[in-house]
């Protein structure tokens, strides 16, 4: 008689065998080259992650690029920069294109390398030899020359902060031709050569005057004395004589309370978010005027969208804010987070969210960086996504899991920040991605949409590879009760494997920007094609 265990009947569609192992040793499905490249680019920050070193990620991206056409690389670079808000990986794809298809590079470079930081990253990658050349090459040089030419004098001066390489280093490499006497003086000033002071652009001259006064003038009063003077004078706290330049050019100078107030007043949105504790240490929140200004800036919907902020960065700012930060500013951060996750879809029917709280999820979401690892962990991102879905779908069920599902009581009317904090503090354990589906099947439930947020390194439920992954087996059981159900697997770490095969009812997607929510909304609310995420990337227009 045939072995009933070996030849057991599986209900539902034929489940494909799991043809590989993941990094944790569990059975898994191997992604196609396009899928794998997209996941590495949308989630990889080229730093050491829990399961992959920075070198492994770099080598894998370059290797996968060889397996796909140049047009896909170009579209993925644009998508990664403009939708996933990544920096290093789209710059790397541009470096690959500069050698592989220089005409495509010309078409996408301005769309992807859209800031001084992106330019510096691109040059650093090219000079490292990682893509097969240690020089820029003629096309990239011409692009950077044109990029420099298109900047106004003020924009170029503000772009001059940052090192390794600096904009001054880049100017020396590409030898841009100055368009007039002002630009010639500015180039000479930035690279440390003699320059015509009379021709120096106004902003640079204003900064030099301010620096001279700060370095050679009287020392500023102590913080306590400055605050007493401010309270006594009743004057506006904002100083009028501080140049509107990047704060990095000012903070190394011996400046006082009024100058710091001007820095805070002129600060861009991201700089504001990242320096709340710094502002507090310099006494700026003694001023109700500054508190109101900062709070309104943080919750400004237009600035939030323009800043390309990751929702988790707002969670980090809230978690890192010192207890002495005014409540008005902390509330503004919560308001900002609600705006940043407004793309979360409201889905008709029953929604189940499954955030992974296992041990590997407690690693930094952007990888380990010596001396500067993010305080935000993968589990924080998973918790944030779950809390955001619960906010928009208040009847949703949240099933956090490790080896098994963890019982947790959440109030859908609480803020995203509050529920995310609860979910991110559930402890550690092994990874069993099928656990929520097992529980749903045991209870006979019929959800319409199930969303996993995980690193997909499931191993506790690993079984016979010929029978597929446990996630696929349990999903097919659920589908017999609700054939129209859809499954979304959000992967927030780079890797080549997945727990569920991509098909019409299953979306595998990588990343941690709000574009993930938009793609899920398309998938949940509309008829979809096979491999929906790749279709989204392939639909990107090349200029």
Q: Are residues 468 and 511 in the same domain?
A: yes
Choice among 218-232, 274-288, 321-335 with the minimum mean pLDDT: 218-232
Q: Where are the alpha helices (DSSP H) in 322-426?
A: 327-340, 378-392, 416-423
Question: For position 1, what pLDDT does the model report?
Answer: 44
> Is residue 357 assigned to a domain?
yes
CA nearest to 433, candidates 409, 413, 412, 463: 463
Q: For residue 291, what pLDDT band results from cuts at 50, 70 and 90?
A: very high
Q: For residue 363, what pLDDT band results from cuts at 50, 70 and 90?
A: confident
Q: Are residues 383 and 329 in the same domain?
A: no
Choice among 143-147, 201-205, 286-290 with the minimum mean pLDDT: 286-290
> Is residue 371 assigned to a domain?
yes
> Is residue 80 assigned to a domain?
yes
> Is residue 507 assigned to a domain?
yes
Question: For position 265, what pLDDT does the model report?
Answer: 87
Predicted confidence (pLDDT) at residue 375 exceeds the cutoff of 80: no
For the chain, percent of residues with pLDDT exceeding 70: 91
Q: Are residues 179 and 230 in the same domain?
A: no
Mean per-residue pLDDT of the chain? 88
Q: For residue 527, give the CATH number of its domain.
A: 3.40.50.410
Q: Are residues 161 and 223 in the same domain?
A: no
> Is residue 230 assigned to a domain?
yes
Q: Give the contacts of 118 (CB within 8 A, at least 6 positions apart).
A: 81, 87, 90, 91, 112
For the chain, percent of residues with pLDDT exceeding 90: 54
Number of domains, the chain? 3
> Is residue 140 assigned to a domain?
yes
Q: Are residues 167 and 112 in the same domain?
A: yes
Q: Are residues 481 and 365 in the same domain?
A: yes
Give the number of other CB atoms < 10 A from CB of residue 321.
Answer: 16
Question: For position 10, what pLDDT does the model report?
Answer: 47
Choice among 332-346, 454-468, 519-533 with the minimum mean pLDDT: 519-533
Q: Are 32 and 530 in contact (CB under 8 A)?
A: no
Question: For position 6, what pLDDT does the model report?
Answer: 46
Higher per-residue confidence, 403 vs 233: 403
> Is residue 374 assigned to a domain?
yes
Question: For position 398, what pLDDT does the model report?
Answer: 94
For 182-228, the pLDDT digits (tens) are 999 999 999 999 999 999 999 999 999 888 888 887 777 676 666 66
Q: Are residues 61 and 199 in the same domain?
A: yes
In the three-class reduction of DSSP (H, G, I as helix; E, B as strand; rest coil), residue 194 is classed as coil
Given 293, 319, 339, which residue is the final one in a domain?
A: 339
Give the number of other CB atoms < 10 A from CB of residue 208.
Answer: 14
Q: Are residues 317 and 369 in the same domain?
A: no
Q: How many residues does the chain have?
A: 543
Q: Are 24 and 456 in contact (CB under 8 A)?
A: no
CA distance 37 to 355: 24
> Is residue 65 assigned to a domain?
yes
* Chain center to CA of 345: 20
Given 294, 322, 339, which residue is the final one in a domain?
A: 339
For 441-494, the pLDDT digits (tens) are 999 999 999 999 999 999 998 888 888 999 999 999 999 999 999 999 999 888
Given 321, 339, 357, which residue is the final one in a domain?
A: 339
Predicted confidence (pLDDT) at residue 169 exceeds the cutoff of 50: yes
In the structure encoding, which two tokens stand for residue 152, read together?
């106004």
Give the mean model confidence (pLDDT) for residues 37-53: 80
Higher per-residue confidence, 11 vs 269: 269
Q: Are residues 491 and 419 in the same domain?
A: yes
User: Any idea what the Cα angle at residue 407 is, between residues 403 and 359, rounded to 5°?
Assistant: 35
Q: Are residues 379 and 332 in the same domain?
A: no
State how beta strands 506-510 and 486-491 pair. Answer: parallel
Higher per-residue confidence, 13 vs 477: 477
Q: Are residues 318 and 361 in the same domain?
A: no
CA nearest to 424, candidates 439, 437, 445, 406: 406
User: What's the pTM value of the predicted model, to 2 decimals?
Assistant: 0.88
Q: Are residues 366 and 318 in the same domain?
A: no
Range of the domain at 75: 53-205
Please list the helix, strand and coil fractions of the chain in percent, rounded to the nearest 5, in that order.
50, 5, 40
Q: Are 349 and 450 in contact (CB under 8 A)?
A: no
């Amino acid at each position: 008689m045939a072995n009933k265990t070996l030849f057991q009947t599986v209900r539902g569609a034929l489940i494909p065998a799991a043809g590989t192992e993941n990094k944790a040793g569990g059975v898994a499905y191997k992604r196609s080259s396009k899928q794998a490249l997209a996941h590495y680019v949308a989630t990889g920050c080229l730093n050491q992650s829990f399961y992959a070193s920075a070198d492994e990620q770099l080598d894998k991206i370059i290797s996968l690029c060889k397996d796909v056409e140049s047009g896909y690389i170009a579209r993925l670079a644009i998508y990664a920069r403009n939708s996933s808000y990544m920096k290093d990986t789209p710059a790397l794809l541009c470096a690959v294109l500069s050698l592989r298809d220089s005409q495509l590079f010309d078409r996408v470079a301005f769309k992807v390398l859209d800031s001084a930081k992106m330019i510096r990253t691109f040059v650093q990658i090219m000079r490292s030899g990682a893509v097969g050349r240690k020089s820029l090459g003629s096309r990239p040089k011409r692009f950077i020359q044109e990029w420099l030419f298109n900047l106004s004098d003020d924009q170029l001066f503000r772009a001059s902060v940052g090192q390794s390489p600096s904009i001054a280093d880049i100017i020396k490499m590409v030898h841009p031709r100055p368009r007039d006497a002002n630009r010639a003086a500015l180039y000479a000033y930035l690279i440390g050569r003699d320059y015509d002071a009379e021709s120096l652009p106004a902003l640079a001259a204003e900064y030099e005057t301010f620096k001279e006064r700060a370095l050679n003038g009287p020392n500023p009063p102590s913080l306590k004395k400055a605050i007493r003077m401010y309270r006594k004078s009743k004057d506006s706290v904002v100083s009028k004589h501080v140049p509107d330049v990047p704060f990095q050019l000012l903070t190394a100078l011996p400046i006082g309370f009024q100058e710091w107030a001007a820095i805070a007043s002129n600060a861009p949105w991201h700089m504001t978010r990242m320096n709340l504790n710094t502002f507090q240490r310099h006494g700026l929140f003694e001023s109700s005027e500054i508190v109101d200004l900062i709070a309104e800036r943080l919750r400004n919907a237009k600035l939030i969208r323009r800043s390309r902020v990751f929702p988790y960065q707002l969670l980090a700012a809230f978690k890192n804010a010192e207890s002495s930060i005014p409540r008005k500013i902390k509330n503004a951060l919560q308001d900002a987070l609600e705006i940043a996750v407004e793309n979360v879809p409201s889905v008709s029917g029953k929604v189940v969210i499954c955030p992974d709280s296992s041990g590997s999820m407690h690693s930094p979401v952007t990888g380990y960086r010596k001396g500067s690892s993010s305080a935000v962990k993968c589990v924080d991102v998973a918790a944030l996504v779950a809390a955001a879905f619960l906010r928009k779908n208040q009847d949703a069920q949240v099933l956090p899991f490790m080896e098994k599902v963890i019982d947790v009581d959440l109030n859908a009317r609480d803020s995203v920040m509050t529920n995310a904090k609860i979910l991110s503090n559930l402890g550690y354990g092994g990874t069993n991605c099928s656990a929520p589906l097992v529980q749903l099947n045991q209870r006979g439930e019929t959800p319409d949409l199930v969303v996993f947020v995980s690193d997909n390194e499931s191993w506790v439920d690993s079984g016979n590879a010929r029978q597929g992954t446990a996630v696929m087996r349990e999903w097919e059981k659920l589908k017999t009760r609700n054939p129209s159900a859809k499954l979304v697997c959000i992967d927030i770490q780079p890797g080549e494997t997945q727990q569920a095969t991509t098909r019409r009812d299953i979306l595998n997607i990588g990343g941690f920007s709000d574009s993930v929510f938009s793609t899920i909304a398309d998938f949940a609310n509309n008829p979809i094609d096979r491999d929906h995420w790749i279709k989204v990337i392939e639909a990107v227009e090349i200029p």
